[in-house]
Structure 1
Amino acid sequence: MAAKLYDLELSGNCYKVRLLAALLGVPLDIVPVDFLAGVHKKPPLVDLNAFGEIPIFEDGGLVLRDSQAILVYMARKWGGESWLPTDAADLALVAVWLMVAENEIARGPNDARLHDKFGYKLDADAARSKAKHILGLMENHLARTAWLALDRVTIADIACMPYVALSHEGGVPIDGYPAVTAWVERVKALPGFVGMPGI
C-alpha cells in the first residue's frame, strides 16, 4: 500500500514531498486538499494534524506533519545514506539547511510569495528583504560548492530549492544570483525530477 500525501499542488512544502518521492521512485497516493475551502482545518484532516496545515503524510499507521520531518522519514526509509547520512557531522550539516528551509527561506521567499500570489496580509517588504538576505548567503555558499550540505545532493537541497526557485512569485527573481540559479538547474537535472507550477 502506497504512502499517502494530503497535497496542494501550489504548495512548495507539499512539492518537496512529491519531488523526493519521484527522485526515490516511491509511489504516493496523492489526495488533493481544497485549501481555499479550509478542508485542512476541519475533520478528518485536522484530526490527523492538529496544526491545521498541509502536507500531511501517512505511511501505514504513521502520520507526519511538516515537510522537513517528512523528508527525513522518506530519506531514512527509502533513500539511505546518500540522501540523509548517519555520520554525526554530515547529518548536522544537512540539518543546518533543513532549519534554513524552516526559518530564513520560509520567512523570506515563501512569505513574499504568500503575499503576492495568495494575498496573505503580512509585511511584504520585510519578507523581500529577508529573501534577498538569504539568497545572498546562499549565493556565496553555492559559489564554492555544487550542493548545500555535502559533495552530493541530499534532502537539504530538496528542502530549500522549491521556495528559492519560486521566489520570483514574491517579487525577488533569482536571475541576479548565478550560483543559486545554477544550483536550481542542477536539482532540475536530477533523474526522476518532477516540477510544479512556477518551477
Structure 2
Amino acid sequence: MSQPLKIYSFPLSGHAHRVRLFASVAGIPHEVIDVDLAAGEQRQAPFLNLNPFGQVPVIQDGDITLADSNAILFYLAKKYAPQYLPKDPVQEAQVQQFLSFAAGELAFGPATARLITVFGAPLDAQLAISRAHNLFAKLNQHLASRGSLVGDHLTIADFALYTYTAHAPEGNVDLAEYPEIKRWLAGIEALEGFIPMKSTAVGLAA
C-alpha cells in the first residue's frame, strides 16, 4: 500500500467503528479522518463528493472511494486480510447472511434503540428494544459453544455485529440474559489491536 487507507469516520458511529476496528485488528495501515456530523459537514460538497448519501464511513484507498460499512469490510478483507473471509462457498454465504443481519435486524433493533437515546431520534423505542431482544435470543443460541459467528475463527461477520451489540445497553437493551453473547464480545475485546468505540452515558449505560 503506497499510502495509508483513509477512513472517514465519526466517533459515535457504530457503522464507522466496525470498519476502524477491523482495520486495526487486521493490521491494515490507515488514517482516521473524523467528519463533524453535528456541524453538518456530511452535507457539504467536499464530503458529498465522496458519498452522495452523506453518511459515514467512507474509505479512500488510492484512487478507490467506497462507502457502506459492510461493503468496506468485504473489500478490506478481500484485498488486505483474506484470513477473515472464508474460502468455502457455504461459509462465505453464511458471512453474507450475517452482513444482511447487520444491515437489517441489528440496524432496526439495537442500533435504532441507541439512536433514540444517544441522538434523540423520534422513533419507537419499545419496538426497537423488542427487535433487539428477538435478535439477541437467536444470536445467543447460535453462539453456544462457538467463538465466532461463522466457522471456527473470526470473520468480517463478527466485526459487522460487534459494535451495536456491545453498545446495546446505551439503548436500554440489557445483555444480562445473553451469556454467550457476552463471552463472544469479550473474545473480540481481548484481540490485539482492539479499539473501543466511545461510550455514551445513556440508557442502561448511564
TM-score for the superposition, normalised by structure 1 = 0.96
* Equivalence map 1:18-29=2 (5 Å): 18-29=20-31
Structure 2: runs of 5 or more not aligned: 201-206
Which residue of the partner structure matches residue 126 of structure 1? 127
Structure 1: runs of 5 or more not aligned: none
Deviation at 1:37, TM superposition (A): 1.3
Q: Distance in 2 between matches of 1:181 and 1:173?
A: 11
Amino acid at match of 2:153: R
Paired residues, number: 198
Deviations 1:103-141 (A, max 9, x none): 000100000000011101111111111001001110111
The ranges of structure 1 where at least 4 consecutive aligned residues each deviate by more than 4 angstroms after the TM superposition are none
Deviations 1:52-91 (A, max 9, x none): 11111110111111100000011111111x2012321111
Q: Distance in 2 between matches of 1:146 and 1:86?
A: 19
* Equivalence map 1:6-21=2 (5 Å): 6-21=8-23
Match of 1:79 among 66, 78, 81: 81
Amino acid at match of 2:163: P
Q: Distance in 1 between matches of 2:40 and 2:156?
A: 29
Classify the secondary structure of the residue corresponding to 2:193.
coil
Which residue of the partner structure matches residue 54 of structure 2? 52
Quote the sequence identity (%). Answer: 39
Q: Distance in 2 between matches of 1:17 and 1:160?
A: 11
Q: Distance in 2 between matches of 1:116 and 1:76?
A: 35
Deviations 1:127-173 (A, max 9, x none): 11100100111011111422111111110000001000000000002
Q: Distance in 2 between matches of 1:180 and 1:85?
A: 22
Amino acid at match of 2:183: A
Classify the secondary structure of the residue corresponding to 1:48.
coil
Q: Distance in 1 between matches of 2:50 and 2:194?
A: 29
* 1:65 lines up with 2:67 in the alignment: yes
TM-score for the superposition, normalised by structure 2 = 0.93
Which residue of the partner structure matches residue 183 of structure 2? 182
Q: Distance in 1 between matches of 2:101 and 2:172?
A: 20
Which residue of the partner structure matches residue 106 of structure 2? 105
Which residue of the partner structure matches residue 32 of structure 1? 34
**CA-atom RMSD, angstroms?**
1.2
